[in-house]
Amino acid sequence: MIGFILGTSEGRKILSLMNEYTDNIVVTTATTYGGQLLEKFKMKNLNTKPLNKEEMLEWIKVNSINILVDASHPYAEIVTRTAIECAEELDIKYLRYERKGALEDIEDEDIIRVKDYDEAINIIKNIEGNVLNTTGGNNVTKFLSLECKYRVIHRILPSPNVLSKIVDAGIKLKDIIALQGPISYELEKAFIKQYDAKAILTKDSGTEGGVLEKYKAAKECNIKLIVIDKPKFIGDTPFSSEEELVQHIVKITQTY
């Protein structure tokens, strides 16, 4: 059985390609919404709740998974670490799919690259103006103690759970934009102008993540783009092509 950990838009393409060969597939996603996007594909089982290490080990055992494909979000560092540990403990094949960053080969003095949120917040403290945080709702509490005379506006998915969580944490409604992407270059510019933003905080989640639209809009509006670098993947070179990943899976399944 082939187990897929999916957390990006490429998951649909990967499953579509896999279904040309087999439906001996089980899938886990972190959200119900993510699972809903995959329901039309042929598979034996679909889990839509986050798995800790013990739960992932059980998921692998119950489903007799012998090939584990980790196509979780490029910034889901804990998920990837957990998947690698589970694969090693159970002695099964582990493969990583990771989209290439869209800004990796761009050198620009208006791009400020940081390694994590703490470094990003230190930069934001010195930005003379409002900042648009487009990195999602999981880390907004890091900004609550930020002593800054300007606003940080958080753009999140329109999920009731996420919205409730960040409001309960203390984020003001006026500092929240709840919107489902993709978001165009023109709309990114409109957000910059509407909120008088002087910087955008983003992750380099690849072309599919809309980071190029943010970069172009920031460049046009002459503001800074603060980019949190992707975690460094430790292991064999990850696949960045869905077709090459699927062809490799098909090839190695012949040995099982």
Number of domains present in the structure of the chain: 2
Considering the domain boundaries, does residue 105 fall inside one? no
- 238 is in which domain, residue-wise? 2-98+234-253
Q: Same domain for 12 and 60?
A: yes
Q: Same domain for 211 and 117?
A: yes
Which tokens in the block code for residue 103? 């800004």
Q: What is the pLDDT of residue 137?
A: 86
Phi, psi of 93 (to 5 degrees): -75, 135
Q: Same domain for 143 and 206?
A: yes
Q: Same domain for 154 and 57?
A: no
Q: Same domain for 156 and 54?
A: no
- Distances in whole angstroms, Cα of residue 65 to Cα of each of 6, 7, 98, 248: 15, 19, 21, 17
Considering the domain boundaries, does residue 155 fall inside one? yes
Q: What is the pLDDT of residue 17?
A: 96
Per-residue pLDDT of the chain (256 residues; tens, 9 = 90+): 999 999 877 899 999 999 999 999 999 998 887 888 898 999 999 999 999 999 999 999 999 999 999 999 888 889 999 999 999 999 999 999 998 888 888 889 999 999 999 999 999 998 999 999 999 888 888 888 777 778 999 999 888 888 998 999 899 999 999 998 889 999 999 999 999 999 999 999 888 778 999 999 999 999 999 999 988 877 777 999 999 999 999 999 876 6
Q: Same domain for 128 and 199?
A: yes
Which tokens in the block code for residue 119? 């470094």
The CATH number linked to 127 is 3.40.50.620
The CATH number linked to 247 is 3.40.50.720
Query: Would the CA dihedral through 162, 138, 5, 72 be positive or negative?
Result: positive
The partner residues of 180 in beta bridges, in order of sequence, read none
